[in-house]
Structure 1
Amino acid sequence: MAGNTGTPGATVAGRMLALLGAFDAAHRALTLTELAQRSALPLTTAYRLVGELAEWGALTRRPSGEYVVGRRLWDLGLLAPVQSGLREVASPFMHDLYAATLATVHLAVRDGTRVLYVERLAGHASVPVVSQVGSRLPMHATGVGKVLLAYAPEEVRAAVFADLTRVTPYTITQPGRLRAQLRRVHREGYAETSEEMSLGAASLAVPVRTANGSVVAALGMVVPSLKGVRPRLVAGLQVAAQGIRRSFH
């Protein structure tokens, strides 16, 4: 169970962390009772601590009575050196891409077996885009996710391949096809999707490397179709990724 530290002698900080740890990708909104159960805390204790967390901004209470992670935690997370540094370095190159294509451009990192979107510029085209800053999506169904999966440790790939959920009728859930795509990322330097995460949307993504060559993020864009534009968009993404790499110190 997530955040289970409701043992005798647990500190106040430990109990608060247990409450925050109750949230995960499958439990984004929780009632007070659910928070108490998932953190193994007495309901009265959970009530008091959840109130303090909500007052500080770590949690937000919806009109329905459920609690979700608050904006203040996200703002705090952006101060982490990797994410804040990436966003600052990548920002001008993302704006250049957006200006040249008017497409949705996003920057993402791996968070366990999910892809975490840390920056996003919304495009003008009417394309269904499900990514938001702070959202976590399946790695196997997104362009940026496939790039990050291609360079992930073997244990991460094994965990992802064990749960290839079908998001749309076009999501690739056959392990052999997905492995072939990951090999292409290494060979050709980019990944693509076509209506795998949302119908009516295609995506392209390339790896973002640090100065020493390590892949730390993926840079991608979402467009209505890749027909006739793939080479130009891939080239633009790769130029931007190279610019980000040169800007790392």
Structure 2
Amino acid sequence: MSEEKTQGGVQSLEVGLTVLDALIAHRTPMMLKELAENLSMHPAKVHRYVVSLVRMSYAKQLDDGRYALGEQAWRLGLSCIQRTDTIQAAQPMIYDLHRKIDCGLQISKWTSQGPLIVQWIEPNQQVSVITRVGSIMPLLNSATGRAYAAFMAEDIVRPLMEREWQQKQALNQQVYPTNWEEFLALKQSIIGQGAATVSGDMLVGVNAICVPIFNAHGEIEFCIAALASDLHLPIDFKNERVKALKETAADLTRYITQG
């Protein structure tokens, strides 16, 4: 056999996974030289493993030559997230909320690339939603993104937000908040309300309200966003559906922190 064997394992597989680990740990795509330096390996050797990772869709090469995680890596990560104990344990309460408010529900977890949608529960009413399971949500103009941005550490979210602002500027697209100072004002409002909202920002006529669920360390464990038409789900914190959403978030936080 061509693989170099170690006791109870295959060394070449372990090296390949080490290369994959380096791509996972780095928040942005990497050039081959940068990846090799990170691993303290010869570029030619790293290239052989990267070619195999690309062939199996665990990595991909971008147009500028840099390497990034591929679709199979994202599927693996998503599969792991969907099986986390907290989200699995929360399913009865999540589906009970769905029955109460009859809105689309998006469950998300934080990743190094931003909020990742890991579950989508369809409403009985028709709502056109283009962000499905596996989508990374923008921090600036999605309710989910704004919730994470408001309740997470600024040194984690700000670099991603700055990148979004640069992308919007390059495309000559308007977005709110337009800069860090505007976001800080919005952040105080979100923290005060305990939820982030958008109205028609991503889809005309569709409102979204996102609430965070916290763990025992006071960090976001996951978020739940409700989506529906502006008539069915008004941006009104006295509305019964909105109150049910916030109550469920509070109940889930208590369940996770005390359970």
TM-score normalised according to structure 2 size: 0.67
Checking the alignment, whether the CA contact within 8 Å between 2:50 and 2:59 is kept in structure 1 is no
CA distance in 1, matches of 2:194, 2:243: 10
Checking the alignment, whether the CA contact within 8 Å between 2:213 and 2:223 is kept in structure 1 is yes
User: Partner of 2:103 in structure 1?
Assistant: 103
Are residues 25 and 158 of structure 1, via their aligned partners in 2, closer, same or farther at CA, if it must alter by over 3 Å? Answer: closer
Letter paired with 1:205: C
What displacement does 1:87 show? 1.2
Checking the alignment, whether the CA contact within 8 Å between 2:152 and 2:220 is kept in structure 1 is no
User: Partner of 1:5 in structure 2?
Assistant: none
User: Partner of 2:81 in structure 1?
Assistant: 78
Residues 10-35 of structure 1: CA distance to partner in whole angstroms, max 9, x if unpaired? 954333453576589988xxxxxx99
Checking the alignment, whether the CA contact within 8 Å between 1:170 and 1:195 is kept in structure 2 is no
Structure of higher CA gyration radius: 2
Structure 1 residue runs without a partner (length 5+): 1-9, 28-33, 61-66
Q: How does 1:157-196 map to 2 (within 5 A)?
A: 157-165=157-165, 166=168, 171-196=176-201
What secondary structure does 1:162 align onto? helix
What secondary structure does 1:173 align onto? coil
CA distance in 1, matches of 2:153, 2:33: 33
Q: How does 1:2-151 map to 2 (within 5 A)?
A: 12-18=13-19, 46-48=50-52, 50-51=54-55, 53=56, 68-70=70-72, 73-74=76-77, 76-78=79-81, 84-112=84-112, 114-151=114-151
* Match status 1:199 vs 2:201: no
What displacement does 1:235 show? 0.7
Give the length in aligned residue pairs.
221
Residues 187-245 of structure 1: CA distance to partner in whole angstroms, max 9, x if unpaired? 12111012223333221011212256443222211112143765323211111112212
Checking the alignment, whether the CA contact within 8 Å between 1:19 and 1:36 is kept in structure 2 is no
Letter paired with 1:223: A
* Match status 1:245 vs 2:216: no
Letter paired with 1:88: Q
* Match status 1:235 vs 2:243: yes
Report the RMSD for the aligned CA atoms in angstroms.
Answer: 3.7
